[in-house]
C-alpha cells in the first residue's frame, strides 16, 4: 500500500469508524437521553463516508490525500452533534430547548461562529494539502525564469490542447483550454456554446512552489422563433480532483458565418490532460505543485 498520504488516510479512516460505532452505540444503549437517535444518523453518515472512501483508496494509488480531506470534512461536519451526544451520554451535561430560550442565555451562534470559522480554515488548508505534489525524487529546483520559459515552450508543439501565456505579473503564467466553441442550427434555432478552463500559476521562488488556481466558465446562447436564451456560468477557486466530460451537439454546423457539411460537433474535456503535463514538468524541475482556492499564501499554505 504505497502512495502519498496512505498513512494519514488509514489513520483517519480508523478514527472515523471508531466515532461512527460509538455514536451508534449511544443510539442503541442510551435510550434514556434526549435525541439519542441523532447518534444513529451521524454514525451511519460517517460509516457511509468511510465505505465510499474505501473505493477511492484503491482507485487513487498515487495520491490518497483526498481521502483524508473528505473524511476530515465529514468529521468536522458532524462534530458539533457528536460532542453534544458524548456530553449527554458520558457526563452530567443537560441542555434542553427551553434553556436556550431562557432570558440571559447567549445565542448558540456565539459558540457556532468561531467553530465555523475554524472549520472553514481547516477546509481551505486541507484542500490545498490534498492536491500538493512535492518535487520528484532526485530533482533540483531551477530558477523561476527558467521554469517560466519551459512552461511557455509547451506552445511550440501541438501535443497538448491548451495554450500557455504570460500573466500580468512577472511570476504568473496562464494556461487556457477552450474545449468547446461551436455555433450550430437546429429546428430553426441558432445555438452557440463556449467553454473555457483556465489555470493561473504563480511561481514563488522563496519556497519553489507553483500555486495553481482554477477558473471555469461556460457561455450558452440560442435564438429563434421562440425568443432569445442566454446563460453564463463561472467558477473561481475550485479544486477539481477529477473531471471528464464529452458531449455531442447535433445540427448544421456554422463556421465563419457559413453552414458547413457537418451535422454534429463533439467536444471533450479531461482535467488530467490539462493538469498532469504541467504537474510533471513542474515537479521534475524541483518545484512543488500546489492547487489553491485563493491567492493568499498565508491562508492556503
Per-residue pLDDT tens digits for 200-246: 999 999 999 999 999 999 999 988 877 889 999 888 888 888 888 89
108 closest CA partner among 131, 80, 89: 80
Most confident range (mean pLDDT) of 56-70, 91-105, 169-183 is 169-183
Average pLDDT, the chain: 87
Above 70 in pLDDT, residue 32?
yes
- Residue 296 located in a structural domain: yes
> Three-state SS for 31?
coil
Distance of alpha carbon 262 from alpha carbon 221, whole angstroms:
20
- Residue 1 located in a structural domain: no
Residue 119 and residue 150 in one domain: no
Structural domain harbouring 75: 6-130
- Residue 135 located in a structural domain: no
- Residue 277 located in a structural domain: yes
Task: Indicate the angle between helix axes 6-29 and 37-59, nearest 10 degrees.
Answer: 160
Count of structural domains within the chain: 2
Above 80 in pLDDT, residue 109?
no
Residue 149 and residue 253 in one domain: yes
- Residue 281 located in a structural domain: yes
- Residue 280 located in a structural domain: yes
Residue 88 and residue 158 in one domain: no
Above 50 in pLDDT, residue 50?
yes
Residue 258 and residue 286 in one domain: yes
pLDDT of residue 120: 87
> Three-state SS for 301?
coil
Confidence bin at 106 (pLDDT 50/70/90): low
User: Cell triple for residue 204?
Assistant: 514563488
Confidence bin at 298 (pLDDT 50/70/90): confident
Residue 289 and residue 183 in one domain: yes
Residue 82 and residue 191 in one domain: no
Q: What is the rounded average pLDDT of the residues 57-84?
A: 87
Residue 123 and residue 151 in one domain: no
Amino acid at each position: 500500500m504505497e502512495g502519498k498520504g496512505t498513512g494519514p488516510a488509514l489513520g483517519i479512516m480508523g478514527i472515523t469508524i471508531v466515532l461512527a460505532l460509538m455514536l451508534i452505540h449511544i443510539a442503541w444503549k442510551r435510550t434514556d437521553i434526549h435525541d439519542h437517535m441523532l447518534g444513529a444518523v451521524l454514525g451511519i453518515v460517517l460509516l457511509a463516508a468511510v465505505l465510499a472512501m474505501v473505493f477511492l483508496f484503491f482507485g487513487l494509488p498515487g495520491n490518497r490525500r483526498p481521502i483524508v480531506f473528505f473524511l476530515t470534512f465529514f468529521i468536522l461536519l458532524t462534530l458539533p452533534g457528536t460532542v453534544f451526544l458524548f456530553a449527554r451520554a458520558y457526563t452530567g451535561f443537560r441542555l434542553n430547548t427551553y434553556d436556550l430560550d431562557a432570558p440571559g442565555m447567549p445565542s448558540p451562534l456565539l459558540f457556532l461562529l468561531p467553530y465555523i470559522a475554524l472549520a472553514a480554515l481547516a477546509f481551505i488548508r486541507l484542500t490545498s494539502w490534498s492536491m500538493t505534489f512535492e518535487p520528484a525524487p532526485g530533482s533540483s529546483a531551477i530558477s523561476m525564469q527558467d521554469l517560466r520559459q519551459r512552461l511557455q515552450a509547451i506552445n511550440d508543439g501541438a501535443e497538448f490542447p491548451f495554450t500557455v501565456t504570460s500573466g500580468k505579473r512577472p511570476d504568473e503564467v496562464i494556461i487556457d483550454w477552450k474545449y468547446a466553441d461551436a455555433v450550430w442550427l437546429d429546428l430553426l434555432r441558432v445555438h452557440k456554446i463556449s467553454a473555457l478552463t483556465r489555470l493561473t500559476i504563480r511561481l514563488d521562488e522563496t519556497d519553489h512552489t507553483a500555486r495553481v488556481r482554477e477558473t471555469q466558465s461556460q457561455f450558452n446562447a440560442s435564438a429563434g422563433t421562440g425568443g432569445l436564451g442566454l446563460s453564463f456560468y463561472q467558477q473561481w477557486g475550485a479544486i477539481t480532483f477529477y473531471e471528464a466530460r464529452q458531449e455531442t451537439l447535433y445540427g448544421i454546423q456554422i463556421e465563419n458565418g457559413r453552414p458547413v457539411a457537418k451535422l454534429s460537433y463533439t467536444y471533450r474535456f479531461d482535467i488530467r490532460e490539462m493538469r498532469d503535463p504541467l504537474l510533471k514538468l513542474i515537479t521534475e524541475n524541483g518545484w512543488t505543485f500546489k492547487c489553491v482556492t485563493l491567492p493568499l499564501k498565508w491562508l492556503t499554505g
